[in-house]
């Protein structure tokens, strides 16, 4: 500082000092980040290969091979992934009692695990971090084998390079089986996971995504639960890793997995029973995402993931329904934590679709898969699915689902009604609450709420994302899936507003049904569309077609 003053350029000098301090800080940070990797080397869990001419443990060499992909290609921060190192310390996200609880584990000879990782176009650094975290944080004696399936990735040398890298990495470590499989043509996640599971020889099979980091002690709590009940399937809590910052956060153990009548996945609130603690394992109608573990034999006995499903989508919902109905159960185990990157968009393409230009290929694949689930498992409730996803009717299926129904007979599976009654009261309540649902038709048009500004318009009923309405029995409210209700605003204007829970807001949204007419309870006027494109209220006229509104699905009247 003194020198700065002497040379008369204090500002510039301060800037240099500041820059120096920052560069030192960055340097220290880099050192800290690599520390855990060096720790692993020092502790003997990683081995450098001194004999080979090439140092395959050089992480930067391994990952440098294919850097062409941009961030959009992977849908996460590739640069950060490449600079994070092969392993990093993760925050402990589970409840502290999980660390101290004594575990009651059977010997490895009766409960070891085969891990199946299928990937399509995953960044090398990400895939490697998934594998290294698994190998470093899993007790050796319980990890039977690792089955890695390259599902037609563009990086064609990846698997060979990985094989060599792993040879060096594992050194003389014994007991771990390694199977590398390549699908020359991309077959999709469902087919690939089944292929891996068929070859697996461990007692249990764990399906893991290729962009995960397992946290300390992830396996033991899962094994402990599976030892209690061989027909159980378990999920860890998935701790979200942010796709942009790759920061690792704590997943929520107050959520269960579930789905709606369109067969879309949803998180459901978990309610604690008396004496139940948040960190205790809990039953769930569906898995918490695609990471799950169960007995290999039980998985194969159930036919694995339904092989009629294409590429990606719906497979874990299908497995969940199948499990529950055919004698199994699903639990989420909060003491087990696995980090997973939840990407905002798919990082991969779906095969070109048939002839329905209303749907993207991804939507069509998902709808195709959902239709198979509905046809195979939903029994008479499939009409709910078709009412909400009318476009599914147009999707051709290659099979009739007799085979699945036959299996249901052989396995003595319960009907879907049982699932509603015993597993997902939420889904049942939703069903019981409905008086009618689906599209709302007035003459040859359907009532649609635009996504952007929730304007009400009348459009072709075949629009792919046409609004599906729900007429609620108890409140008389008519709501969209986004919980907006049709009501009457100032000046008797028909408009959407957030569904009111009580009071005047709810009164303005109450409709009574008179045949196909919708009578507004407060004003005693009927919903009308006299000019073909604008809704209004007018005195009820029983013969007026402009006042006739038909739902795609009327629920049977029940007392
Ligand atoms: N995957 C695959 N083949 C495909 C599509 C996906 O092997 O055709 C892999 C993908 O690389 C990932 C896993 O399947 O490891 C699950 O896919 P994704 O992570 O996109 O699903 P999400 O986690 O979003 O449910
Ligand atoms: Mn994933």
Helix (H) or strand (E) holding 136: helix 124-136
Whether the pLDDT of residue 318 is over 80: the answer is yes
Strands (E), 393-433: none
* Look-up of token digits 């990952």: 63
Domain assignment present for 38: yes
Domain assignment present for 406: no
Can you give the pLDDT at residue 75? 86
Cα 342 to ligand 2 centre (Å): 6
Range of the domain at 36: 2-43
Can you give the pLDDT at residue 356? 59
State the pLDDT confidence band at 175, using cuts at 50, 70 and 90.
Answer: confident
CA distances from 56 to 38, 48, 51, 159 (A): 16, 8, 11, 14
Domain assignment present for 249: no
Which CATH number covers residue 525? 2.80.10.50
Cα 123 to ligand 2 centre (Å): 13
Task: Encode burial over 449-467: b for 16+ CB neighbours within 10 A, e otherwise.
Answer: beeeeeebebeebeeeebb
Cα 447 to ligand 2 centre (Å): 36
- For the Cβ of 316 lying below 6 angstroms from any atom of ligand 1, the answer is no
Three-state DSSP class for 42? helix
Structural domains counted in the chain: 2
**What does the alpha-carbon distance between residue 422 and residue 476 come to, in Å, rounded to a whole number?**
28
Pairing of strands 204-208, 292-295: antiparallel
118 has which bridge partners?
Answer: 149
- Pair 195, 320: CB distance under 8 Å: no
Domain assignment present for 454: yes
Whether the pLDDT of residue 44 is over 80: the answer is no
Domain assignment present for 35: yes
Helices (H), 137-179: 158-170
Q: What is the pTM of this model?
A: 0.84
Whether the pLDDT of residue 66 is over 80: the answer is no
**What does the alpha-carbon distance between residue 182 and residue 174 come to, in Å, rounded to a whole number?**
24
Helix axes 361-377, 315-325, angle to 10 degrees: 10
Q: How many CB atoms are closer than 10 A to CB 319?
A: 26
**What does the alpha-carbon distance between residue 226 and residue 218 come to, in Å, rounded to a whole number?**
14
Taking the CA of residue 188 as reference, the ligand 1 atom at the shortest distance is 8
Question: How does pLDDT run across 280-312, given as a tens digit for each residue?
Answer: 999 999 998 899 999 999 999 999 999 999 999
Cα 209 to ligand 1 centre (Å): 6
Q: How many CB atoms are closer than 10 A to CB 245?
A: 11
- Among all bound ligands, the one having the nearest atom to the CA of 209 is 1
- Among all bound ligands, the one having the nearest atom to the CA of 341 is 2
Backbone angles phi, psi at 388, to 5 degrees: -85, -25
Whether the pLDDT of residue 37 is over 60: the answer is no
- Pair 513, 480: CB distance under 8 Å: no
- For the Cβ of 348 lying below 6 angstroms from any atom of ligand 1, the answer is yes
Cα 332 to ligand 2 centre (Å): 17
Question: How does pLDDT run across 97-110, given as a tens digit for each residue?
Answer: 999 888 889 999 99
Q: What is the mean pLDDT of residues 122-138?
A: 96
**What does the alpha-carbon distance between residue 529 and residue 267 come to, in Å, rounded to a whole number?**
38
**What does the alpha-carbon distance between residue 538 and residue 249 come to, in Å, rounded to a whole number?**
54
**What does the alpha-carbon distance between residue 433 and residue 380 come to, in Å, rounded to a whole number?**
17
Domain assignment present for 342: no
State the pLDDT confidence band at 345, using cuts at 50, 70 and 90.
Answer: confident
* Look-up of token digits 């080979």: 52
Whether the pLDDT of residue 325 is over 50: the answer is yes
Q: What is the mean pLDDT of residues 394-409?
A: 79
Domain assignment present for 465: yes
Percent of the chain topping pLDDT 90: 66
Taking the CA of residue 311 as reference, the ligand 1 atom at the shortest distance is 8
- Among all bound ligands, the one having the nearest atom to the CA of 119 is 1
Domain assignment present for 144: no
Closest CA to 305 of 322, 328, 324: 322
Taking the CA of residue 192 as reference, the ligand 1 atom at the shortest distance is 7
């Amino acid at each position: 500082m003194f020198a700065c003053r002497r040379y008369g350029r204090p500002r510039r000098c301060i800037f240099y000092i500041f820059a120096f301090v920052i560069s030192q800080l960055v340097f220290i940070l880099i050192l800290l980040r690599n520390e855990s990797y060096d720790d692993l080397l020092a502790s003997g869990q990683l081995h450098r290969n001194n004999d080979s001419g090439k140092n395959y443990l050089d992480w930067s060499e391994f990952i440098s091979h294919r850097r062409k992909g941009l961030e959009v290609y992977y849908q996460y921060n590739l640069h950060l992934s490449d600079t994070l190192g092969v392993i990093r310390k993760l925050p402990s996200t589970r409840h502290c009692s999980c660390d101290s609880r004594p575990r009651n584990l059977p010997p490895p000879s009766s409960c070891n695990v085969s891990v199946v990782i299928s990937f399509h176009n995953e960044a090398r650094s990400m895939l490697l971090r998934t594998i290294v975290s698994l190998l470093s944080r899993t007790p050796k004696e319980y990890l039977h084998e690792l089955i890695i399936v390259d599902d037609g990735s563009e990086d064609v040398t990846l698997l060979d390079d990985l094989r060599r890298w792993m040879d060096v990495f594992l050194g003389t470590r014994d007991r771990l089986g390694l199977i590398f499989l390549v699908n020359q043509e991309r077959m999709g996640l469902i087919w690939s996971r089944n292929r891996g599971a068929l070859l697996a020889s461990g007692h249990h099979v764990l399906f893991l995504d290729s962009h995960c980091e397992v946290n300390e002690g992830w396996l033991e709590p899962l094994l402990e639960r599976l030892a209690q009940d061989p027909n159980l399937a378990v999920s860890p809590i998935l701790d979200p890793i942010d796709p942009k910052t790759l920061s690792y956060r704590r997943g929520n153990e107050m959520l269960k997995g579930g789905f709606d009548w369109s067969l879309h996945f949803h998180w459901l609130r978990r309610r604690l029973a008396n004496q139940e603690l948040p960190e205790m394992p809990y039953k769930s109608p569906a898995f918490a995402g695609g990471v799950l573990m169960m007995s290999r034999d039980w998985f194969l006995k159930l036919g694995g993931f339904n092989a009629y499903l294409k590429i990606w989508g719906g497979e874990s919902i299908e497995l969940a329904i199948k499990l529950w109905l055919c004698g199994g159960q699903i639990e989420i185990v909060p003491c087990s934590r696995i980090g997973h990157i939840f990407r905002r968009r798919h990082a991969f393409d779906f095969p070109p679709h048939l002839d329905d230009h209303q749907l993207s290929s991804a939507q069509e694949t998902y709808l195709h898969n959902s239709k198979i689930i509905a046809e195979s498992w939903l029994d008479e409730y499939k009409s709910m699915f078709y009412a909400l996803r009318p476009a599914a009717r147009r999707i051709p299926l290659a099979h009739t689902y007799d085979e699945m129904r036959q299996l249901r007979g052989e396995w003595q599976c319960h009907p879907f009604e049982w699932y509603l009654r015993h597993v997902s009261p939420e889904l049942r309540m939703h069903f019981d609450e409905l008086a009618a649902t689906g599209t709302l038709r007035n003459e040859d048009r359907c009532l649609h709420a635009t996504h952007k500004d929730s304007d009400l318009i009348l459009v072709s009923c075949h629009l792919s994302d046409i609004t599906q309405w729900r007429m609620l029995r108890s409140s008389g409210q008519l709501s969209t899936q986004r919980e907006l209700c049709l009501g009457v605003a100032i000046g008797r204007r028909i408009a959407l507003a957030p569904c009111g829970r009580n009071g005047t807001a709810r009164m303005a949204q109450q409709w009574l049904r008179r045949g196909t007419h919708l009578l507004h309870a407060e004003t005693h006027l009927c919903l009308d569309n006299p000019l073909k494109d604008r809704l209004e209220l007018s005195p009820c006229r029983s013969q007026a077609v402009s006042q006739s509104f038909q739902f795609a699905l009327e629920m049977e009247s029940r007392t």
